[in-house]
Structure 1
Amino acid sequence: MTKDHSNIAILKEIAELLNEETEMIPMLNGALSKFLSGTKFETGWIFFIDERGKSELVVKQNLPDALSYNDCQHLKRGGCWCVSRFRNEELEKASNIIECQRIESAIEANVGEHSDITHHATVPLQSGQERFGLLNVASRNTVRFSDEDLDLLESVAFQMGSAIKRIYLTNEQQEIALVQERNRLARDLHDSVNQLLFSVTLTARAGIEMSEQPDIKETFKDIQQLTQEALTEMRALIWQLRPKGLESGLIEAIKVYAEMLNLKLAVNVSGVIQFPSRIEETLFRIAQEALNNVRKHAGVTQAEIYISVTATDVLLVVKDEGQGFNIEAHRHIPSIGLQSIVDRVHAVGGTADWVSEIGKGTELLIRLPY
């Protein structure tokens, strides 16, 4: 088999893998592995770079010890010509990197063998006008790759970029379908169960007015109170399924939700409230769950929320002066609500912690990157 035919075969195998995979990281890992195993390139890594220029190392293959040391700290930090050119929209095709500060810093740190990896080639991952990040590859004792090598690298990067776009579109469609299903469920709950509970409340009120026996009056009062509580729970559930207030902004949505729960809420904000939609909804869902916990377990009718925004993350604190709980007595997360919050936080790479003491309230601390 000639070299051209060999390259075509590699690109065909990669195309088949990219078309079959539905998960982003396994897809990129598999494609990079096939590419390295079928070409002269020996090691590679992929950066995703967001709209603000923040880079994230998402895939790596066959890195020498110097580059993989301490969770690839030298690849993740410091200056980098390829990332800088990408951010400035000056990198349009596969290119040789004459010197890489990150590789040089790893070698100078003397933290492991660099296996004669001193330079690398780079190529942007994109689909049309959308740019996602960089594919970097390197080989032992190679300072410069040939035009033919770079053409091959560009071809596989084109395939990867198209596959990344496909998965993003698929995820967006799934998110739209999920929102539509939430809206349908919220509508059904409002039109059926919510109306039934409201009818029971009216019936109980009529029973109180019509009955003259104290025991029967008291029974109807209990029914009315329980039904009213169930209505409040149902309205909160409908809001969780379909947060209408979010289009008016995160803070306003949180305030309206607290008001619906009959909680007096103080909100303190520092920094500019402007997040990606996924982070904004995550913050809203966490605030909802935290306020639900205050209403159900704290034994108070007021709470405080602090939101502090920096260039890289957001800190959300929800505080109450309620009855609290003994943290030492809980080997596991003490409530389903807190577990739900932890799950949401971990899903976006954040951290969750809480401080509580009997009789001295609870403080929930959430930090999310964005």
Structure 2
Amino acid sequence: MSIESGHEEISILKEIAELLNEGTDTKEILSGVLQKLLHVTGLQTGWIFLMDEHGTHHLAADAALPPALAHNQKRRMCQGTCWCVNKYNNHQLNKATNIMECKRIEDAIEEKAGETCGLTHHATVPLRAGQERFGILNVGAPNKTHFEKNELALLEAVAYQIGTALKRIKLTQREQETALVAERNRLARDLHDSVNQLLFSLSLTARAGVEMTANTEIKQTFSYIQDLAQEALGEMRALIWQLRPQGLENGLVSALKSYADMLGLSIKTKVSGATCIPGKVEEALWRIGQEALANCKKHAQITEAKLLFHTSSNGVALTILDAGCGFHYEENASIPSLGLKNMKLRTEALNGTFNLKSKPGSGTEIQIHIPF
């Protein structure tokens, strides 16, 4: 292992520990740690794959990839499988390991995809914290075909630190999500107990004012106040629904039907498939469905809509369509409203696909598919 001095090694390892302990952005800390690790070991190339529960990998960080691997926006690193990924998924990778050859490099050479800069082998280290696994760390150097025990021990120590940091970030994110839900519930309760009740009282007072006076102009004024209070009350109830969904515990479709009823919108539903939906996916579909139904009520100029909901073992599909006035929209054009943009962003944040179809006089159809 090429190290300028023992002091520098300790110093850089300390920097790695500090970065992992303080960072909250996964991509940023993994990139930083990889750069520092390569420096302290004298290695030149590395990459980190994070893996989901289905064994699917994605490239989370990389450094100095040879052209053969970096070609075409690193497609070779983002697609397909290899020996180290297979070993990880088969639970055969439990400690730092010498991988004799790199399949991605071999494939690149066979396909003449570009320069490999002498890289043929790499060491592979699992990223884990206790029994929880997160992915793999790969490092190598030109013409290096073997890693010594002390090199593998150092890589394993850093990989364990990375795994512990990933665990911390995951727990922190979960804690933040829980706190956000609690704050939404608190705000919803406050709005219901204060503003909602005040608007209801105002509506009753205005109604009483209409009945108590014989003056036509005063009657009209009280009637106008009552209409405004009722409209504000409806908006407030919708806001409370958005903050704290009532009935979501009975299922997403049931909650959306109740929300449509609250809006004064008749909705026909068709449900197929049966599987458990992850909490994040259900939350995203709830918010997307709310926005879509609200658009039906506000903009489509109709009182009916359709909702199609299908679940399978690998994903969920939600379609909301209406036969309203529609609007001009071409595929691949920019999304015309903030609400629709938010739906698209929520979908893509979960690696899903968002499709919008609409024409003047032909209604609007929104299709959402989210894999899991």
Tell me the TM-score normalised to structure 2 length: 0.90
Structure 2 vs 1, CA of residues 79 and 336 (structure 1 numbering), >3 Å: closer, same or farther?
closer
Matching of residues 99-138 of structure 1 within 5 Å: 99-138=101-140
Matched residue, 2:300: 298
Identify if the C-alpha distance between structure 1 residues 211 and 332 changes in structure 2 by more than 3 Å, giving closer, same or farther: farther
Describe the superposition over 1:121-142 as per-residue Cα deviations: whole angstroms up to 9, x where unpaired.
Answer: 1111111121111111121112
Any idea what SS the aligned residue of 2:163 has? helix
Query: 1:157 maps to what in 2?
Result: 159
- Aligned equivalent of 2:92: 90
1:125–1:160 contact (8 Å) kept in structure 2: yes
SS at match of 1:244: coil
Determine the structure 1 residue equivalent to 2:42: 40
Task: Say if 1:316 and 1:366, in contact at 8 Å, map to a contact too.
Answer: yes
What is aligned with 1:268? 270
CA offset at residue 346 of structure 1?
Answer: 3.9
Paired position in structure 1 for 2:283: 281
Return 231-240 or 345-354, whichever deviates more. Answer: 345-354
Partner secondary structure for residue 131 of structure 1? strand
Shift of 1:3: 6.0
CA contact (8 A) 1:64 1:113 kept: yes
Report the equivalent of 1:49: 51
Q: 1:1-370 maps to which residues of 2 (within 5 A)? A: 6-212=8-214, 216-309=218-311, 312-327=314-329, 333-370=335-372
How far residue 273 of structure 1 moved from its aligned partner, in angstroms, is 4.3
Q: Deviations over 1:90-109 (max 9, x none)?
A: 22101111233333222222
The structure-2 alpha-carbon separation of the partners of 1:152 and 1:349, relative to structure 1 and needing over 3 Å to count, comes to same
Instruction: Using the TM superposition, give the Cα deviation of residue 343 of structure 1 relative to its aligned residue in structure 2, in angstroms.
Output: 3.4
CA deviations 1:162-187 (Å, max 9, x no partner) are: 11111112222222222222112111
When residues 87 and 340 of structure 1 are mapped into structure 2, their CA distance, relative to the original with a 3 A threshold, is same
| Change in CA separation of 1:337 and 1:78 when aligned onto 2, cut-off 3 Å | closer
* Deviation of 1:310 (Å): 5.3
Cα deviation code 1:265-290 (max 9, x no counterpart): 12233444433222221111011111
CA contact (8 A) 1:75 1:103 kept: no
Q: Which moved more, 1:147-156 or 1:214-223?
A: 214-223
Matched position secondary structure for 1:327: coil
The gaps in structure 2 that reach 5 residues or longer are none
Pair 272,146 (structure 1): closer, same or farther in 2 beyond 3 Å: farther
Contact 1:74/1:103 (8 A) holds in 2: no
Conserved 8 A contact 1:74-1:105: no
Q: Give the letter for the 2:78 counterpart.
A: K
Secondary structure of the equivalent of 2:237? helix
Q: For residues 310 and 47 of structure 1, do their structure 2 counterparts lie closer, same or farther at Cα, with a shift above 3 Å needed?
A: farther
SS at match of 1:91: coil
User: Structure 1 unaligned runs (5+)?
Assistant: none
Q: Deviations over 1:52-97 (max 9, x none)?
A: 2221211111111111122222222333222222223222101111
Distance of 1:62 and 1:313 partners within structure 2: 36
The residue type paired with residue 238 of structure 1 is I
What's the CA shift for 1:212?
A: 4.5
SS of equivalent residue, structure 1 residue 298? coil
Q: Please give the per-residue CA displacement for 1:332-356, whole angstroms capped at 9, x wherever unaligned.
A: 6433322332332343344434222
Deviation of the 1:320 alpha carbon: 0.9
Task: Tell me how far apart the structure 2 counterparts of residues 103 and 266 of structure 1 sit (CA, whole Å).
Answer: 54
Contact 1:267 1:306 in 2 (8 A): yes
TM-score of the pair, normalised by structure 1: 0.91
Deviations along 1:291-315, whole A, 9 cap, x unmatched?
A: 1111111111111122344555443
Q: Distance in 2 between matches of 1:38 and 1:76?
A: 27
The one-letter code matched in structure 2 to 1:363 is E
**Structure 1 pair 43/289, CA: closer, same or farther in 2 (3 Å)?**
same
Distance 2:134 2:280 in 1: 18
How far the C-alpha of 1:33 sits from its partner, in A, is: 0.6
Question: Contact 1:7–1:152 at 8 Å: present in 2 too?
Answer: no
Shift in CA distance, 309/98, structure 1 to aligned 2, threshold 3 Å: farther
Question: More deviation in 210-219 or 58-67?
Answer: 210-219
How far apart in 2 are the matches of 1:311 and 1:68? Answer: 34
Cα deviation 1:134-155 (Å, max 9, x = unaligned)? 1111211122212221111101
Task: Tell me the secondary structure at the aligned position of residue 109 of structure 2.
Answer: helix
Task: Between 121-130 and 223-232, report the one with greater CA deviation.
Answer: 223-232
Residue-pair matches, total: 368
